[in-house]
Structure 1
Amino acid sequence: MCADLWSFALSTYARPGVEAACLRVQEQGADVCLLLCGAWLEQRGVALTRERALALRHIAEPWQSQVVEPLRQVRWQWRAVAQQDAPLAALRERVKALELDAERELLARLEALATTWLTGEAMGQRWLEGLAAEGAANLDHDALQQLRVAVTGT
């Protein structure tokens, strides 16, 4: 088990099928950083409560909309043109690195809040489903299940 959220996110994302599942749920409106945080909390035995989910969303939603999404949009917009323009491709890679830095910062902020919560609590509702339910109404549940299996093996 990874002690910090960033290491957990990296190791989870590197598992077979996880990247594709994350990209699918992201395209459907889910916040992958928030879902990875939820999986990390579940693995640590932190009980999901409505208040905790709202506190995480209070951090994640503005950061995603004001920082991560604008960087992602620029990167996506440059995709086709950058294939024919080497200097633009290099700039696009720098934007991609900034996007990853912004996601790392978001995970650090989520972790800072979440580490104040007790571990080893009795688990009720599962974090992935609890966070995904509010994040995207038409979420690909197969992709979410693939993420769950990669993280927990269940």
Structure 2
Amino acid sequence: MCADLWSFALSTYARAGAEDACLRLQEQGADVCLLLCGLWLEQRGVVPEPERVQALRTIAQPWQADVVQPLRRVRKQWRAMAQQDVELGALRERVKALELEAERQLLLRLEALVQSWPTGEQATDQVWLEALATEVANLDHDALHQLRAAVTGT
């Protein structure tokens, strides 16, 4: 198990099926950083109390809306044009790097928030992921299962 959330996110994303699941969930409006944090908390045995779920959302939602999503929109908007324009392609790669750094900063903020939460409180009962995904209507539950399976190997 990775001690810090950023390392956990990177190692999870690199596992078979995780990238596809994350991209599918992201396209449906899910906050993948929040979901990865939930999986990390599950592994650490942190109880998903409603106040904790809300505290995570309070940190994540404005950061996603004001920082990550605008960068993502620009990156996506430039995709087709960047294939024909080398200079724009280079700028798009820089925006992509900024988007990744913005996600890293969000994960660092989430990790800082949870540092005082007790670990090992309960066996993993797989409820963090579902608690954090409830705000997305018509979420692809197969993708959620695929993401969890990438972490747990089940």
Scaled by the length of structure 2, the TM-score of the pair is 0.97
For residues 61-92 of structure 1, the C-alpha deviation after alignment (integer angstroms, 9 at most, x for no partner) is 00000000000000000000000000000000
Name structure 1 gaps, 5 residues minimum.
none
RMSD: 1.0
For residues 83-135 of structure 1, the C-alpha deviation after alignment (integer angstroms, 9 at most, x for no partner) is 0000000000000000000000000000001111000012556111111112x
**Percent identity of equivalent pairs:** 75
Aligned to 1:53: 53
Aligned to 1:27: 27
Aligned to 2:130: 129
Tell me, yes or no, if structure 1 residue 66 matches structure 2 residue 66. yes
For residues 42-61 of structure 1, the C-alpha deviation after alignment (integer angstroms, 9 at most, x for no partner) is 00000101100000000000
Name structure 2 gaps, 5 residues minimum.
none
Runs of 4+ in 1 over 3 A off after TM superposition: none
- Partners in 1 of 2:152 and 2:15 — Cα distance? 12
| Letter aligned with residue 152 of structure 1 | T
Scaled by the length of structure 1, the TM-score of the pair is 0.97
User: Which secondary structure does the structure 2 equivalent of 1:67 belong to?
Assistant: helix
User: Which secondary structure does the structure 1 equivalent of 2:134 belong to?
Assistant: helix
- Number of aligned pairs? 153
